[in-house]
Chain A
Amino acid sequence: MTNETLQELLGSWFPNPEASVASEPVEVTEGEDAIEAKEPINPSLLEFTEEGSQFLNVLVKPENLHQLMSKLKTTAETSFDYLFCLSGVDWGTDLGIVYHLESTKHRHSIVVKVKTEDRENPTFDSVCDIWRTADFHEREVFDFFGIKFNNHPNLKRLFLTDEWDGFPLRKDYVDEINMVVK
């Protein structure tokens, strides 16, 4: 599948309810309301971009994450059965996960991203039940970023000891003794 057809298909899975409501009154009220420069409403709850990446990037809201991932795996046209990379990222204000997916049948790839602003208690749904490799990868993310995963069977630190204070791969992590800052 090309990136365009993928985008079209995925977009149709999660239609934006605001987009359908908003599109109707625009036609009725011409005149003063129409003068206001309206931002184009995304027809889907997913955000797509191909900018600065070789893959199609999809940004999904945390509440839709598990449903989207499950559909990506089970739908015949997409069948993304190979989760080859799962990375935690600290974007400064947001914490999030980047999933790199490939289909061994169709040999197309996609990148799914999910973000949250909650740095105290960041939580996403686990995708362990969809791809079993996520078990270890999510534990690694929990270990280094402190991101929790709902329904993870064994969420505890993987590399560091249980007593370790803080999450080292976060940008605001400070360890004055061991870190050499240049």
Chain B
Amino acid sequence: MQETTTINNNFKSEEYFINMGPQHPATHGVLRLLLTIDGEIIKKVEPDLGYIHRSIEKMCERDSYQQIVHLTDRMDYLSSHINNEAVCLTVENALQLEIPERVQVIRTIIGELTRIASHCLWWGVMGMDVGALTTYFYGFRDREMINDIFEETCGARLTMNYNVPGGLMWDIHENFVKRVKDFVAHFKTKIPEYDRLLTGNVIFQKRTKGVGILTKEDAISFGVSGPVGRGSGFSCDVRKYHPYSALDKVTFNEALRTEGDTFARYSVRIQEMWESLSIIEQLIDNIPEGEFRVKTNAVIKLPKGEFYQKVETARGELGVYVISTGTKNPYRLKFRSPGFSNLSALSHMATGGKIGDLVATMATLDLVIPDIDR
């Protein structure tokens, strides 16, 4: 008896390391997290990056501006159209090109479709990460419709390359308007289905409410943006504050929640899908007639100077910072990717929680690893 007591007294908790990734289903790519844990409580999360770093920024320094556009959809491949748009806008603004309204409207419609497609995929894997496999099939079913629209108009389903400096690669397909309208009507009946399936689920709510809290002050300090920032009450929608393309012609609400927990970030994305549908509806009937591209020089040379363009991808604020010396290549090109800054807040959000909570928190960060490893 006495001996057992002695052993119990000597029982000590000890911190130890555990690897999560690089081949872990919840990291959605090759991200390795080095966890310092005490029992099941997380003390520290240290991301280990670079498994698929391709040094896109260095490649840009030797490429022409038209070529750079095609590299960008290999970063955040779920927001490929918006990434392309960011580089095109930078070039067009630097050259002070007048972009036809038709181009602007089509870009915005496809951009919002991209956002919905990305959120569909996120919603599917979000459910899967917390143990609800059904969501995956529902999300992919609806995303498939968008991908079909893209395939018809852009010629590709994922890395679309539809934007070129000066406009679009070619005009929209004749079925485009009809199919987008069909999709909007279809998807309006599906978001309530998403809510019935997952949002209201008691287990899901217990897994997400009060988990992975990020306050507004910390959100700003960590530079998080997109739905992650807006879930913490940080009003950071680039579409509102620095509207580009046709976004100044539409009205929409910025999805904003103040709780800062996993469920708040989840709700922001669900609401964003409604807002994106509303933006598409406002534009789809009034696509202006006109050219789909303005002529640019075959060799684009940006004037000497520095140019910064930010856009709102499905993950947050993507910044393109170009330093030009007046040649056909950028002297330096920096991509400020949303995932990189969002990931930096992960350790802060997960510390003190359980490993299971880390998975739920990571799911609402919606990380795309090539976006972090540019």
Contact = CB atoms under 8 A, between A and B. Distances in A.
Interface of A: 51-55, 57, 81-85, 87, 89-90, 98, 100, 104, 107, 111, 131-133, 135-137, 140, 144, 158-161, 168-169, 180-182
B344 A132 contact: yes
Contact of B62 (A55, A83, A104, A181): A181
B50 A104 contact: no
Given A100-B321, A132-B221, A85 B336 contact: yes
B305 A53 contact: yes
B369 to A, nearest CB: 12
9 contacts: A51-B305, A53-B305, A100-B319, A104-B234, A131-B221, A132-B221, A136-B344, A137-B341, A160-B53
Contacts of A181: 62
A158 B220 contact: no
Q: Is the interface of A mostly helix, strand, loop or mixed?
A: loop
A136 B58 contact: no
B235 interface: yes
Contacts of B341: 133, 136-137
Given A104-B236, A135-B344, A52 B223 contact: no
Interface of B: 49-50, 53, 55, 57-58, 62, 218, 220-225, 234-236, 241, 303-308, 310, 317, 319, 321, 323, 332, 334, 336, 340-341, 343-345, 348, 373
A131 B321 contact: no
A85 B220 CA distance: 13
Contacts of B222: 132-133
B59 to A, nearest CB: 9
Given A133-B222, A133-B344, A136-B340, A100 B308 contact: yes
Nearest to A173: B58
A32 B332 CA distance: 47
A182 B62 contact: yes
B308 A54 contact: yes
A169 B234 CA distance: 33
A157 to B, nearest CB: 8
Contacts of B234: 104
B49 A158 contact: yes
B235 A85 contact: no
Nearest to A161: B50
B123 to A, nearest CB: 27
Given A52-B305, A104-B234, A85 B321 contact: yes
Contacts of A168: 55, 58
Nearest to B305: A52
B119 to A, nearest CB: 23
B319 A159 contact: no
B305 A98 contact: no
A63 B336 CA distance: 26
A85 B50 contact: no
A55 B306 CA distance: 9
Contacts of A52: 303-306
B332 A89 contact: yes
B308 A159 contact: no
B306 A85 contact: no
A109 to B, nearest CB: 9
A83 B224 CA distance: 10
A167 B58 CA distance: 11
Contacts of A133: 221-224, 341, 344
Given A52-B305, A53-B306, A158 B50 contact: yes
Sorted nearest first, the 10 A-B pairs with minimum C-beta distance are A52-B305, A133-B223, A159-B50, A87-B334, A136-B344, A85-B336, A53-B306, A132-B221, A159-B53, A133-B222
A87 B223 contact: no
Contact of B223 (A90, A131, A144): A131
B299 to A, nearest CB: 14
A169 B221 contact: no
